[in-house]
């Protein structure tokens, strides 16, 4: 690298347009401008301000359809797909889930409330949570079709607080801790390993099943989740075997429910392309369940597929405007108006991202840049050392794979206000969430007197 920082090395050869497959499926470069669903991103940024979040309806539809078609060809019994509310939930997204007949996984009463606001019917609401509060449980008993019980203490609380003699309880599934994790980029995105905080061991599952029998509780399924954003489905097989062993021991009859979870991956960076294949994920799960139930003479369960972020991550794009640019030796800081408050994933666990310049997506990469936000934290960084064309103050950058765990994990740190969100369709850009205001920040404040 020269002192100016302008010295293309081996990794910077060529342009950055090979990043397009990270973006929604309708993304194009037209006259060297980035468009999604036919909308020019710089026009949207002018109109709605930045940071701005865009969701491409066609990509959301395509991912839901890919899982449903794979299930239709690979799994001979009934099956459905669950949307992970924790990835991104609001009224519009909840409404969208029902266009595809999806179940919605809600963690606690807040997400149940959002699902209800989007008219998700109670039978499609699944309630998860590792330490559900009393109000979580009360809301779940009232509004959910299924509670996924995480531990024996929770099961006892359900039995004591909502005796079957007085309440029509939702179905109960038991969350198994399979003791097998999948390969993820960081320990914080694993959930199935033996020392995880989630779920019950096989022994605890059998105790829970016995308890349900004694108390006449409506137990009808098993769930597990092994980790997030993985692309080798093979560790699912051992966990499915364990789940089926337990189902056989419990003696589940026809119509029982099996939800082998683990969020299938998406590509966040060009090094991770091609995009993981939804059919491969479904094939491994379907074949394991079909073979495993035959071997145990167990009836085929209703399969609840839970592919996590992969339903929505690729559909979302974050658009930031560049402000100051600082060159510190080899380090080039591109300071933008978005950062860790709308996307904490790099700060939390080093998630890697890529991006394109909105007005010059096909430009030659000339230097490695790091994209950092305006907040008062050194960790307020979203991208590190990514080859990019020359950027200037006022330019826009578009960050792909921003659809999951950005806004749902966003904060108001430094008084930042959460961005506006648009749902893009051909010929229509719908504002589905307005930008927060200072009034929103103060809404809960009661003042001193």
Ligand X SMILES: Cc1ncc(COP(=O)(O)O)c(C=O)c1O
Catalytically annotated residues: 376
Closest CA to 387 of 426, 424, 332: 332
- Could you give the CA distance from residue 418 to residue 441 in angstroms, rounded to a whole number? 10
Beta carbon nearer to ligand X, 229 or 360:
229
SS3 414: helix
| Residues within window 293-312 making contact with ligand X, judged by CB under 6 A | 306, 308-309
- Could you give the CA distance from residue 205 to residue 200 in angstroms, rounded to a whole number? 6
Q: How far is the CB of 448 from ligand X (least distance, A)?
A: 40
Q: How far is the CB of 264 from ligand X (least distance, A)?
A: 7
Q: How far is the CB of 181 from ligand X (least distance, A)?
A: 12
Contact map string, positions 28 to 67, toward ligand X, x by CB under 6 A = ----------------------------------------
| Residues within window 92-121 making contact with ligand X, judged by CB under 6 A | 105
Contact map string, positions 154 to 183, toward ligand X, x by CB under 6 A = ------------------------------
Beta carbon nearer to ligand X, 87 or 282:
87
Q: How far is the CB of 212 from ligand X (least distance, A)?
A: 20
Name residue 322's beta-bridge partners: 336
Q: How do the residues of the chain divide into helix, strand and coil, expressed in percent and rounded to 5?
A: 35, 25, 40
| Residues within window 313-372 making contact with ligand X, judged by CB under 6 A | none
Beta carbon nearer to ligand X, 179 or 261:
261
Please give the order of strands across the beta sheet that includes 33-36: 28-30, 33-36, 39-40
- Could you give the CA distance from residue 330 to residue 321 in angstroms, rounded to a whole number? 22
- Count the site residues for ligand X by CB under 6 A: 14
Tell me the CB-side half-sphere exposure of residue 19, using CA atoms within 13 A.
29
- Binding segment (CB under 6 A) for ligand X, from list 209-217, 221-229, 232-240, 321-329: 221-229
Beta carbon nearer to ligand X, 124 or 309:
309
Contact map string, positions 238 to 267, toward ligand X, x by CB under 6 A = -----------------------x-x----
Contact map string, positions 68 to 87, toward ligand X, x by CB under 6 A = ----------------x--x
Q: How far is the CB of 266 from ligand X (least distance, A)?
A: 9
Q: Count Cβ atoms below 10 Å from residue 231 Cβ, excluding itself.
A: 18
Closest CA to 164 of 211, 110, 107: 211
The CA-based angle 257-307-245, given to 5 degrees, is: 40
- Could you give the CA distance from residue 207 to residue 212 in angstroms, rounded to a whole number? 9
DSSP 72: H
């Amino acid at each position: 690298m020269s002192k100016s920082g302008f010295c293309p090395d081996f990794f910077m050869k060529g342009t950055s347009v090979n990043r397009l497959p990270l973006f929604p499926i309708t993304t194009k470069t037209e006259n060297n401008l980035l468009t999604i669903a036919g909308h020019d991103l710089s026009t949207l940024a002018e109109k709605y301000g930045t940071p701005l979040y865009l969701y491409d309806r066609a990509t959301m539809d395509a991912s839901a359809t890919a899982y449903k078609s794979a299930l239709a060809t690979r799994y001979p019994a009934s099956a459905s797909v669950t949307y992970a509310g924790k990835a991104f939930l609001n009224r519009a997204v909840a409404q969208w889930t029902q266009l595809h007949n999806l179940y919605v996984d809600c963690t606690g009463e807040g997400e149940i409330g959002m699902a209800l606001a989007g008219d998700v019917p109670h039978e499609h609401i699944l309630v998860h949570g590792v330490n559900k509060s009393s109000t979580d449980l009360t809301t779940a008993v009232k509004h959910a079709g299924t509670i996924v019980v995480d531990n024996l203490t929770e099961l006892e609380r359900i039995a004591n607080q909502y005796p079957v003699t007085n309440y029509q309880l939702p179905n109960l599934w038991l969350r198994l801790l399979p003791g097998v994790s999948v390969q993820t980029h960081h320990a914080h995105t694993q959930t199935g390993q033996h020392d995880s905080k989630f779920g019950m061991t096989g022994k605890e599952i059998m105790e829970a099943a016995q308890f349900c029998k004694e108390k006449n509780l409506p137990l009808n399924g098993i769930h597990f989740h092994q980790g997030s954003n993985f692309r080798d489905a093979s560790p699912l097989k051992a966990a499915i075997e364990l789940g089926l062993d337990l189902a056989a021991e419990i003696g589940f009859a026809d119509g029982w429910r099996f939800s082998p979870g683990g969020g299938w991956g998406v590509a966040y960076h060009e090094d991770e392309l091609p995009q993981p294949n939804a059919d491969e994920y479904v094939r491994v799960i379907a074949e394991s369940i079909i073979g495993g139930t035959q071997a145990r003479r167990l009836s085929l369960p209703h399969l609840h597929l839970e592919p996590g972020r992969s339903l929505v991550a690729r559909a979302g794009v974050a658009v930031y405007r560049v402000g100051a640019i600082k060159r510190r030796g080899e380090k080039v800081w591109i300071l933008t108006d978005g950062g860790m408050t709308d996307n904490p994933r790099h700060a939390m666990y080093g998630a890697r991202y890529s991006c394109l310049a909105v007005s010059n997506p096909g430009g030659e990469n000339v230097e490695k840049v790091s994209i950092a936000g305006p907040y008062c934290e050194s960790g307020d960084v979203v991208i590190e050392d990514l080859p990019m064309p020359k950027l200037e103050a006022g330019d826009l950058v578009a960050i792909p794979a921003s659809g999951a765990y950005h806004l749902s994990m966003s904060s108001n740190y430094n008084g930042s206000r959460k961005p506006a969100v648009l749902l893009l369709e051909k010929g229509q850009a719908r504002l589905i969430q307005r930008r927060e205001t200072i009034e929103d920040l103060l809404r809960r404040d009661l003042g001193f007197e």
